[in-house]
Amino acid sequence: MCLQWERFQALWKRCEAPVDPRPVFENLSCRYREPHRIYHRGKHLIHCFHQLDLAYTIIQDPDAVELALWFHDAIYIPGSSENEKESAELFVRAAGDYFRPSFIRKVYELILVTTHKELAQECNKQFVADIDLSSFGVDWEEFLRDTNAVREEQADSSDAVFYPAHTKFLNSMLGRPRIFGTEFFFGRYEQRARENITRFLADLVRKGYTC
């Protein structure tokens, strides 16, 4: 699925960066089309933009949030724990001296939120995290397709490696008081996300993956 050049161009212009955004966009577009990507590709990014647009008017700094979304999966090596950090560093290199240092730091930190190691507390960070996790709250069939796509991306990992790690992450989501930090996304997706994750974990047990 093609990324949206006009959208990126408009964002870059709003941020008043005095440089042609085309090379940055083309770099991102190539990365999101890498053949090893099955879930973390352009389709996921466009899903994120749709969620962003739904909440746009209530986000404190929507441009920073959108830039973070553009870059949050720019580096994706299956199984790596450094993807988010390297994606954030890629943004810093792309930003160069064209943005205010405080804005660069803000976007950098927003990208790191997508590690989902803890529930975000600051408003913009909550929106980035919630938008990235919003695919947990889709219909069951789509949730299952996404989950299978994540599994397929890590085809080099055995079931004995993949499923315990994935189960640990999903259980960490269920163990939180809430998956979604913002009231907007909590109301839209919390219940269905919990239902989807619980159903998926139960299916794993039935299939013999007692992780």
CATH code at 41?
Answer: 1.10.3210
| Amino acid at site 98 | Y
- Residue 58: inside a domain: yes
| Residue 142 belongs to domain spanning | 5-206
Angle between helices 42-55 and 22-32 (to 10 degrees): 120
Distances (CA, A) of 96 to 55, 79, 158, 208: 29, 29, 40, 50
- Residue 137: inside a domain: yes
Confidence (pLDDT) at 16 = 86
Confidence (pLDDT) at 121 = 93
- Residue 40: inside a domain: yes
- Residue 113: inside a domain: yes
CA distance linking residue 177 with residue 146, whole number of Å: 24
Hey, how many other C-beta atoms are within 10 angstroms of the C-beta on 181?
22
CA distance linking residue 42 with residue 2, whole number of Å: 7
3-state helix vs strand vs coil in the chain, percent to 5: 70, 0, 30
Hey, how many other C-beta atoms are within 10 angstroms of the C-beta on 178?
14
Q: 75, 31 in Cβ contact below 8 A? A: yes
Of the CA atoms within 13 Å of residue 129, those in its CB half-sphere come to: 23
Cα end-to-end distance, the chain, whole Å:
35
CA distance linking residue 193 with residue 174, whole number of Å: 9
- Residue 80: inside a domain: yes
Confidence (pLDDT) at 87 = 98
Nearest to 52 by CA among 116, 127, 144: 127
- Residue 211: inside a domain: no
Cβ contacts of 142 within 8 Å, gap of 6 or more: 135
- Residue 197: inside a domain: yes
- The total domain count for the chain is 1
For the chain, which ranges sit under pLDDT 70? 1-2, 210-211
